[in-house]
Structure 1
Amino acid sequence: MSERDIFLADAGATDALGRQLAGSQPPGAVVFLDGPLGAGKSSLARAWLRALGVTGAIKSPTYTLVERYPLPAGGEAAHLDLYRLAEAGELDFLALDELADARLWLVEWPERAALGLPPPDLRIRLALAGPGRSARLQATSARGEAWLAAIPG
């Protein structure tokens, strides 16, 4: 599958990437956000949700595990943070089946869910890189391939 590496020099660059991805995402996109603590997963998710028109507080789902956001254009986006998940079986308590029609899934720490999540269209690996961050965008489905190809740069 295709990949693209992007250097994010500062918080503004992370926000710009979030806006770019929000403006080009296909409906029902599933995105896995990978990286160590402090790599910028939640910052990217917050910028993405803002670009989709979410107003008000955008809370990190660290303790709730799932935050749902109604979108002005209709539908909803789901932001999941599975860091505190002890075992994949705990997904049963999150009512993920209610998110089947979400316009966007942003999933932090997806490896904690084993096979309990829909397959991603795009995997974004964030890492600290000197004074900034690096982002590796990897298409993991045919829809993700088309999406990645449509992103300028």
Structure 2
Amino acid sequence: MLLTIDTPEAMAELGARLAGQVRAGDLVTLNGELGAGKTTLTRGLGEALGVRGAVTSPTFVLARTHPRVDGPPLVHVDAYRLSSAVELDDLDIDFAASVVVVEWGEGLLDGITDEWLQLDIVRPVGGVVTDDGVEARTVTVTGHGPRWADLGWLAAHGA
């Protein structure tokens, strides 16, 4: 499914819509260049899930666990410096009991899971800039495995 996301607020809203779908054991990968909106989407997801504290980029710590008052924790991973699924697995994340979002996760899921939701975010270079200085992003959403075969929830929410 292809989406156009016009503003950072709309990217956070996409994360909030995703919050209504995720459960313990779910893995979401976010791919896109620096500044594409990966952390903004994760922040919207975390706020909608009701995590304690602010969702910030885990760039320097690789992974942050955000506990929730009610429900599985959100684990936010920055895999930019990881080179294999083994290194991702070495982070000792409890994938089965958490909602896990992996930024820069493309190609790192071999042996981790057979089911995941992949969002590829493209920020245009030399694209049309709005009066606010924001360029629209194109987000390609791909479900892998039976868990994510139905992406109708995106269309049902006006995406």
Q: Which TM-score applies when normalising by structure 2? A: 0.81
Structure 1: gaps of 5 or more residues: none
Match of 1:48, SS state, is helix
The structure with the greater share of residues assigned to strand is: 1
* Higher relative contact order (CA closer than 8 Å, sequence separation 6+): 1
Structure 2 gaps of 5+ residues are 128-134
Contact 2:115 2:147 in 1 (8 A): no
Q: Does 1:126 align with 2:129?
A: no
Q: Any conservation in 1 of the 2:78–2:102 contact (CA below 8 Å)?
A: yes
| Map of 1:101 onto structure 2 | 97
Q: CA RMSD in A?
A: 2.0
- Counterparts of 2:146 and 2:18, CA distance in 1: 17
1:144 aligned partner? 148
Q: How many residues align?
A: 147
Relative to its length, the structure with more helix (as a share) is 1
Quote the sequence identity (%): 35
Q: Closer, same or farther in 2 for the Cα pair 1:63/1:119, shift >3 Å?
A: farther
Q: TM-score, normalised by structure 1?
A: 0.84
What do residues 54-110 of structure 1 show as CA deviations (whole Å, max 9, x unaligned)? 1322221111111111122222111111102255543354112x33311x1101111
Tell me: CA distance 1:138–1:114, structure 2 relative to 1, closer, same or farther (3 Å). closer
Contact 2:58 2:76 in 1 (8 A): yes
Q: Which of structure 1's runs of 4+ aligned residues deviate more than 6 A?
A: none
Report 1:59-138 matches (<5 A): 59-96=56-93, 98-102=94-98, 104-111=99-106, 113=108, 115-129=110-124, 130=127, 131-138=135-142
Provide Cα deviations, 1:1-37, integer angstroms capped at 9, x if missing partner.
Answer: xxx1111111111111111111233442211111112
Q: Which residue of 2 aligns with 1:51?
A: 48
